[in-house]
Amino acid sequence: MKKSVILGVATIAALAAGAAAAGTVDDVKARGKLNCGVATGVPGFASPDANGEWQGFDVAVCRAVAAAVLDDPSAVEFIPTTGKTRFTALASGEIDMLARNTTWTFSRDVDLKFEFVGVNYYDGQGFMVPKALGVSSAKELDGATVCIQTGTTTELNLADFFRINNMSYEPVPIETNAEAQQQYLAGACDVYTTDASGLAATRATFENAGDHVILPEIISKEPLGPLVRHGDHEWGDVVRWTLNALIAAEELGVTSANIDELSSGPGDNPEVNRLLGTEGTLGEMLGLDATWAQRAIKVGGNYGEVFAKNIGEETPIGLARGLNAQWTDGGLLYAPPFR
């Protein structure tokens, strides 16, 4: 414990002496561990299990990057961040990347000096109401009491939505999702609004989930994705293309079942070959070895498999692919070509 203070002082001295910091890729390789910022607990996206192992959809991105860079999906130091601490943790270098269902917005990208490397989940704000209320559309919610988390973008979206539709509402301000569930179930509000994925996860925990409906309107765009610091483009590329590799793998039909067979030698599909490193030098361009994408995909399978395992329809959270389907299936996932 004392030693880290000493180390801290030593580091200050070293930096004052003019030693330049290396790029994040080299830092991560030298450290042998990826410091990945995650949420302190969002069902399906990031949660520690009984053994303290992190699980979830965001966590899978961290593990894939660790596998690509360090050849070890468990070489990740998961650093839980709250909504308040996440950006400072990234800006200060405490974490190398943030995968904490964070909405990609203009000001976060430009003003806070971060770089969103892609979108791993397209979310949007929705409404949940008890079936007994007899409401089938959000446009019928005039005069409703609404449970809303304070200080979030959802609060602003809600105000916008009701203003546009010329309706009034009474907000019931709450602090956390846990509190919201209790308030909503106790009848303190008619409507609960937050991201649709959060609504689905919340509804899944109710005793009588069938008594509650999620209204069809999605009133905002919430593209959630991993982000890195501005300026370190080599590192940004590594994270971006690891995410793209997972998405492209699904599109190209590379799964955890057939990846060993496909990567044993060059096959018929040149893009699969380039992705898996059996052809071309994509890995070298990225500053990694040829099989980086293979390792990333092997951790939990392609994007579709990761989705199905953590938040898909078979899980208690039960999210449909919806916007998060491949572009070939009418969704928004569209990985640029591996060429």
Binding residues (CB under 8 A) for another protein: these are: 1-12, 15, 21, 27, 39-52, 55-56, 77-82, 84-85, 88-89, 91-94, 176, 178, 181-182, 201-202, 204-207, 315-317
Tell me if residue 56 falls in helix, strand or coil. Answer: coil
Residues 6+ apart with CB under 8 A from 299: 60, 63, 64, 67, 73
Q: How far is the CB of 55 from another protein (least distance, A)?
A: 8
Report the distance separating Cα 265 and Cα 290, nearest Å. Answer: 13
Residues 6+ apart with CB under 8 A from 145: 169, 170, 171, 172, 188, 189, 190, 191
Q: How far is the CB of 152 from another protein (least distance, A)?
A: 16
Q: Which is nearer to another protein, 78 or 104 (CB)?
A: 78
Q: Which is nearer to another protein, 186 or 257 (CB)?
A: 186
> Residue 289 in contact with residue 272, Cβ under 8 Å?
no
Report the distance separating Cα 92 and Cα 116, nearest Å. Answer: 17
Q: How far is the CB of 39 from another protein (least distance, A)?
A: 8
Task: Name the residue among 246, 230, 234 with its Cα closest to residue 301.
Answer: 246
Residue 124 CA neighbour count, 13 Å, CB half: 13
Q: How far is the CB of 12 from another protein (least distance, A)?
A: 6
Q: Which is nearer to another protein, 52 or 337 (CB)?
A: 52
Look up tokens 């909504």; give the residue. 83
Tally of CB atoms within 10 A around 82? 10
Q: How far is the CB of 33 from another protein (least distance, A)?
A: 10
> Residue 128 in contact with residue 177, Cβ under 8 Å?
no
Residues 6+ apart with CB under 8 A from 308: 314, 315
Q: How far is the CB of 165 from another protein (least distance, A)?
A: 32
Q: Which is nearer to another protein, 269 or 315 (CB)?
A: 315
> Residue 203 in contact with residue 212, Cβ under 8 Å?
yes
Q: Which is nearer to another protein, 215 or 317 (CB)?
A: 317
Q: Which is nearer to another protein, 161 or 307 (CB)?
A: 307
Tally of CB atoms within 10 A around 200? 21
Q: How far is the CB of 7 from another protein (least distance, A)?
A: 6
DSSP string covering 263-311: TTS--S-HHHHHHHTSSSSHHHHTTS-TTHHHHHHHHH-SHHHHHHHHT
Report the distance separating Cα 70 and Cα 99, nearest Å. Answer: 18
Q: How far is the CB of 66 from another protein (least distance, A)?
A: 16
Q: Which is nearer to another protein, 6 or 132 (CB)?
A: 6
Residues 6+ apart with CB under 8 A from 200: 214, 317, 318, 319
Q: How far is the CB of 3 from another protein (least distance, A)?
A: 5
Q: Which is nearer to another protein, 19 or 285 (CB)?
A: 19
Q: Which is nearer to another protein, 143 or 173 (CB)?
A: 173
